A and B are shown apart, each in its own frame.
Chain A
C-alpha cells in the first residue's frame, strides 16, 4: 500500500499568516493514465471531510483562492496564504492513483 506521510502533524498559526502542509508518498502518484490523483481535504470540528483540492492543484468549487496545492511525483504541498479562524480543523492528503486509496495521518491546524 502507498503510505502517505504528512508534516507537521500539528500546525499553530497566527491569524493572517501563511501556513503550509507537506504530504509525501512512498511511491510516485503518477497514474498509468498520466494523471496524478492527489487530493486535499479539510475536516472542521464535528463535520464531514470536505475536498479542497483535487489532482494536485485544482481547487473545488467554492474553495477560497487562499488555498493552493502544488507538487509532483511523491512530494506535495497545501498552502494557505492567509489563515482565517474558519480554517481551524484537520487537513488530510489522499492518493487515488494506486489501490487501495490511502490518506495521510492528518495535520491539525489551530490558531495561535
Chain B
C-alpha cells in the first residue's frame, strides 16, 4: 500500500522558518518525481514545487522561489520542504504527492501568524 506521511507543520510567526518532511513507502521512491502541493483554508489547490528522481532538478511556483527549497533523501525514502521568510499567505495544508498526483499524503497544516 502506498503511504505518504507528511509532518512538521505548525504555527510560525511571519518571517520565520519551518521544515516539512514526508515519509514515503509502498512504491519505488527513488525513481519517482515528487511534489509539494498546498491548499489554503477553504481555497483551491496550488502546486508549490517539484523535484526529479535524483534531486538534481528543482522547480518552484514563482510565489515561493528563493524562499522555499525542496529536497529528498532516497536512502531514507523521504521528501522535504524547507520554508523560510514565511508570510501569512503561505498558511495552508501542505501535501506531498507524486509529481502527476497519482498518490497524495494526508497533509500537514502550516499556519503563519503572529
Contacts and interface: CB of A to CB of B under 8 A. Distances in A.
Given A99-B59, A100-B61, A101-B50, A60 B44 contact: no
B47 A54 contact: no
Interface in B42-65: 44-47, 50, 59-62
Contacts of A104: 44
Interface string B69-93: 0000000000000000000000000
A100 B45 CA distance: 13
Contacts of A76: none
Interface of A: 37, 39, 41, 43, 48-51, 54, 60, 92, 94, 96, 99-106
17 contacts: A43-B45, A48-B95, A49-B37, A51-B102, A54-B102, A60-B102, A92-B44, A94-B47, A96-B99, A100-B59, A100-B62, A101-B47, A101-B50, A102-B47, A104-B44, A105-B44, A106-B44
